[in-house]
Amino acid sequence: MSRWPLALRVVFDALVFALVLVWIVQPDSPTALFRNAALALIAAALLPLAVRPWRPAWSAGLRRALRLPDLLAFCSVLLVGACELALRAASSFSDSPLLAPPDANAQERIAQWRGRPGAVLNGRPLNALGLPDDDFVLERAPGTRRIVALGDSFAVGVVPYADNFLTLLDERLDAAAPTEVDNFGIVSTGPEDYLYLWRTEARRYAPDLVLVCLFVGNDIRAPRESSLLHRDSLLAFAVPGRLLRLGHQTESPSAAAATEAGVVPDAPSFDEAAYLAVERDRVELCLRQPGKKTLRAWDTTRSILQDLVAEVGPGLRVVLIPDEYQVDDALWAELVGGREAEFDRDDPQRRLAALFAEWQVPCLDLLPTLRAAQADGPVYAPRDTHWNVAGNRVAAQALAEWLGP
């Protein structure tokens, strides 16, 4: 075997094993690790080939040593590639969130996560647009104020439809003056998706106000770029991960049926380990010395919000929804115990409030209100990260007072 084919085999094997290494060790920020690991593996394997006196003996030994890595690398590439192609093909024919492309754009995400019209959710059928509200009508009654609400799973809620904060807000405002609140909530969405929904659907209803429900927990984010270095950029890895997370859900089939019937189960939605893993990831947003990932998330989110402000105009209103760790002192202590000095619990709200003040956009921060309400009992569902019935009522009352006639 000539020197170059052997060298190419070494390079191929080194790249495959470096890729596997970063998928396991550093899937969120892999670039430097991949580069260093690949260079180290290639250098270690090619060094004997570069030393001419040793080349014959080392080449023969290297060929023998490469047989198993060759086979493993080839089978790994073949297996992952075949799985990825099959899952991408299935994704193109299915609207299941389980098969949503990890690097999907706003249009694909919304199509994947929007509910099925008529499907029962939280005790009520979704409307003709697959949204958790009555059917929307373009023409409105004279003298009626119209508010369009853009939000994620908080807008969809985990409580019965009648107890959802946007439903309650509609009732409270309508009791004072004719008002309709159109709920455009879709789970797993964020600012980029709110902007897309405004451009493509919500603006058709010519609202007087646009209420953006900004969840501090996961709306401050940067869309992940599609790359083989990012493990979750491949459905072959993303789908098993989603199935594993579903396995950590503790809600039983009977509890799910109760939710559809409009009864909220008392059982937590996730086991403790999965729940704490979610919250530990989110609390990184409060670090006084944030990492590159967090800084990029802030830059991206600021840019998207600025576009939203420019396109919606003076009718834009923003409500800041805190994460549970910002409201529940016991949870906060468990997440940052021993590292309190490294975190600033209220920093995300201060930064967002400063941005909207700079852009002259009215903004309501629900953090103080929910903290005060927490003293009388939990305002978040057990191990779920969303509001329970009490939390929805507190939020609806604060919003009704803020958006009153």
pTM of the model: 0.75
For residue 224, the model assigns a pLDDT of 61
For residue 28, the model assigns a pLDDT of 64
Closest CA to 403 of 374, 348, 366, 367: 366
For residue 245, the model assigns a pLDDT of 61
For residue 6, the model assigns a pLDDT of 65
**What string of pLDDT tens digits covers the 405 residues of the chain?**
445 566 677 777 777 777 777 777 776 667 777 777 777 777 776 666 665 555 566 666 666 776 777 778 778 878 878 887 888 888 777 766 677 666 667 887 888 889 899 999 998 999 999 999 999 999 988 999 999 999 999 999 999 999 999 999 999 999 999 999 999 999 989 999 999 999 999 999 999 999 999 999 999 987 665 666 776 677 777 778 767 766 655 443 333 333 333 334 445 567 888 899 899 999 999 999 998 889 989 999 999 999 999 999 999 999 999 999 999 999 999 999 889 999 999 999 999 999 999 999 999 999 999 999 999 999 999 999 999 999 999 999 999 999 987
Burial of 351 (0-12, 13-18, 19+ CB in 10 A): middle
Q: Domains along the chain?
A: 3-93 (no CATH), 104-402 (3.40.50.1110)
